[in-house]
Structure 1
Amino acid sequence: MHLTRHLNVAVCGAGAFGQNHLRIYRELMRSGAPITLAAIVESNPSAADALHLEWQVPVFGSVAECLHVTQHLDAASVCVPTSAHHAVAQALLLSGVDVLVEKPIAATAEEASELVLLAKAHQRILQPGHLERFNPAVTAIRPFLNHPMFFEAHRLSIFSPRSLDVDVVLDLMIHDLDIVLSFVQSPVQSIHAVGLPVLSQKSDIANVRIEFESGCVANFTASRVSTERVRKLRFFQPHQYVSIDYARQDLLLIDVSPEPVASPALKIEKPAVIPGEPLRLEIESFLQSVCDRTIPAVTAHDGARALQLALDINAAIAAHADRAGLRRFL
């Protein structure tokens, strides 16, 4: 990251993930980056008092109060619950502030579309927080992409009450949906999905099969009630198998000789992956776009597209529940 001007930033929502954004901004400031954490927005009064003591910056109870008092704000991270993404991001964009909004970009497709149009009309940066795009293993595989045709994605997490305002598709699976959409670059043709609530009132585990118009097929499994943490993506493309371990930032390629021989030769390769924290890389990329006025690496359109697919999957889950008589579980 090479910023050519000073940026004043804010973090809206200082819950579990907002704390991570605050940590990254502090690390960047300590490393000499020309940024200042100018404000924090936190609606919980007791949490706000603790934040003011820890960070020694103004803490406001609402984004409206923050915008009224803070004289100059260049950029903000929006880490509030999904249901508030639209309202908070809208207020910031209307005030001329560039926005990094955590995934999903909004709660509904209509809200996402409004934010996309608003950012365009006001010439603001609007970047959705799909941080796996910045995972070094994902970055390293892009030069090797060659018409992938079959994906298997597994994202399993131990139960946490952190994101129970959304289901497992919008909470976890959306990361893999965004990655596969960026790899395949083809419209979705069909969706088959099943999901069930386990420890919450929304789907906590889901399995999805998607076929794209290109003929590519992708299977996704996501669970937030697992006994282990798994974040892996595997896919096949002509004469090659690829395995990505997001957590380990590990990449494995297995090539199969295209020659019709009796015993096909296998070539195993582990391309170099430069390690790094995806969230920090994401925030650095966002700030660079803010400074240079360039299109962000993950666009608002990308965020809206991933959200729409997630919502279509939830509709397919609901339809399957009706067919299978599972409504009593939902």
Structure 2
Amino acid sequence: HRLSVFTPRSLDVDVVLDLMIHDLDAVLSFVNSPVREIRAAGIPILSDKVDIANARVEFESGCVANFTASRVSTERVRKLRFFQPRQYISIDYGRQDVMVFTVGTGKGEPSANPEIKVFKPQAEQEEPLRAEIRSFLQSVRTRNNPIVPLEVGRRALATALEILSQIQQHTLKVGAPAL
């Protein structure tokens, strides 16, 4: 989830390329699998571009990612959540923390009262844009690959553009005014 309070900034671009692309970039760096299917919907509310969007991305590996981006929220939210058997991981970019919830020991059947272990790994507190620029400059100086390779950024942009295409198709399918 990447939600923002409305500001007149970046109204020349829709919310998918303005906000959602950051989460696409993060998820694609974790999921090393081609995209199988994208379903998406979105609408303009306060501008002539898509202001709120939801996308479901299914990967060949079977992994499924749901993305929500909005610039018409009453609060600022920057969260990424991972679900897998017996575990839930929550990354809060706003608070800059991570919480890991693990159910039981992985043995036996699920129960009505499962043991839930909570672990909070140490997260480095740093302003994200400053960290991104520092990492990029370090890559240039040392001629090493950046933390997030160019290919992941390219995949994020291609996925974002496909999400926009799916939003357009959905808009036409439901008979809403064209974007």
- Asked whether 1:232 is paired with 2:79, we answer yes
Q: How many residues align?
A: 176
- Asked whether 1:256 is paired with 2:106, we answer no
Deviation string, structure 1 residues 141-177 (Cα, Å, up to 9, x no partner): xxxxxxxxxxxxx111011121112100000000111
Please point out which of 165, 170, 188 is paired with 2:17. 170
**Amino acid paired to 2:66:** N
Deviation string, structure 1 residues 28-67 (Cα, Å, up to 9, x no partner): xxxxxxxxxxxxxxxxxxxxxxxxxxxxxxxxxxxxxxxx
Q: Give SS of 1:274's match.
A: coil
Residue matched to 2:173? 323
C-alpha RMSD over aligned residues: 1.3
Structure 1 residue 274: deviation in Å?
2.0
Please point out which of 138, 156, 179 is paired with 1:288. 138
Deviation string, structure 1 residues 245-265 (Cα, Å, up to 9, x no partner): 100001101111211154432
Residue matched to 2:64? 217
Deviation string, structure 1 residues 68-111 (Cα, Å, up to 9, x no partner): xxxxxxxxxxxxxxxxxxxxxxxxxxxxxxxxxxxxxxxxxxxx
**Amino acid paired to 1:191:** I
- Asked whether 1:276 is paired with 2:126, we answer yes
Unaligned runs of 5+ residues in structure 2 are: none
Residue matched to 1:190? 37
Q: Which has the higher contact order (CA 8 A, sep 6+)?
A: 2
Q: TM-score, normalised by structure 2?
A: 0.93
Structure 1 residue 299: deviation in Å?
2.6
**Amino acid paired to 2:136:** F
Structure 1 residue 276: deviation in Å?
1.2
- Asked whether 1:303 is paired with 2:153, we answer yes
8 A Cα contact 2:29 2:148, kept in partner: no
Residue matched to 2:163? 313
**Amino acid paired to 2:44:** P
**Amino acid paired to 1:235:** F
**Deviation beyond 3 Å, 4+ runs, structure 1:** none
Q: Give SS of 2:58's match.
A: strand
**Amino acid paired to 1:188:** V
Q: TM-score, normalised by structure 1?
A: 0.52
Alignment of 1:193-208 (within 5 A): 193-208=40-55
Structure 2 CA distance for aligned equivalents of residues 178 and 234 of structure 1: 14
Structure 2 CA distance for aligned equivalents of residues 311 and 218 of structure 1: 16
Alignment of 1:58-73 (within 5 A): none
**Amino acid paired to 2:141:** C
Q: Give SS of 2:9's match.
A: helix
Structure 2 CA distance for aligned equivalents of residues 309 and 320 of structure 1: 16
Structure 2 CA distance for aligned equivalents of residues 233 and 292 of structure 1: 31
Structure 2 CA distance for aligned equivalents of residues 281 and 207 of structure 1: 28
